[in-house]
Structure 1
């Protein structure tokens, strides 16, 4: 599998990034906001949906980094940001424009947790960081 490197500068780009990080596993301690740099970053073990070779194949995971620039504010809800060993499953990333290029980026996690980033403009980068490994299980979602 080739290392993935994506940039999102608009809603359509972010939808592609969101699809690639769906079901990524994120430790709470691996997320952070660098206020001076106006950057929010997170490390994750992303599930590579493209690697699945049939119904019984469990797929692969890969370490990846995602960061957002031009971040003005960060608001978390639905989980304890101080629980360093907490683990979250990333479901989707969306962008809601507010004023011109400014808006809210929302990272939605299983169980209702969210991270909302107030951004001057949408600018996100996703990069794979290393080798792949076999996933313990393929993520499954209820269809209700």
Structure 2
């Protein structure tokens, strides 16, 4: 059993660490939840267990995880069909572009040109593993 990750990002350097952990994660559009009234975006995903891979394991394993952004002022999508709940996306990475301090924009970049742009009051992001890795392996 792998130790479950819980990472928090409050600046661009922290977000780069989270981005590395979610690289190549699988996301279904139905697992992208924008809670405008709460100023929160939550993305459910199956992320690759990079720690296990780097430890020499031969079969890659995926873990259920949740990526949460708080203090989000707006959420815009490009080349993502939010009306197709079963559509599969592959998360390439996350970038932060500073704006008027402490705010800016977080960009979630997906394969095939998809993107989510989050304008934030300040960067407040959390990645939490949810377990269920036995089931996650069956979904590959």
Query: What runs of 5+ residues in structure 1 fail to find an aligned partner?
Result: 138-144
Show the counterpart of 2:121: 120
Q: TM-score, structure 1 length as denominator? A: 0.89
Show the counterpart of 1:141: none
Does the CA contact (< 8 Å) of 1:25 and 1:88 recur in 2?
A: yes
Superposed counterparts of 1:36-55, under 5 Å: 36-52=37-53, 53-54=55-56
- Report the alpha carbon displacement of residue 132 of structure 1 after superposing the two structures with TM: 1.9
Q: CA-atom RMSD, angstroms?
A: 1.6
What secondary structure does 2:18 align onto?
Answer: helix
Superposed counterparts of 1:93-132, under 5 Å: 93-132=94-133
Supply the distance in 1 between the matched residues of 2:59 and 2:113 (Cα, whole angstroms).
Answer: 25
Deviating 4+ runs (over 6 angstroms): none
- In the comparison of the two structures, how many residue pairs are matched? 136
Q: TM-score, structure 2 length as denominator? A: 0.91
Supply the distance in 2 between the matched residues of 1:87 and 1:39 (Cα, whole angstroms).
Answer: 22
More helix by share: 2
Query: What runs of 5+ residues in structure 2 fail to find an aligned partner?
Result: none
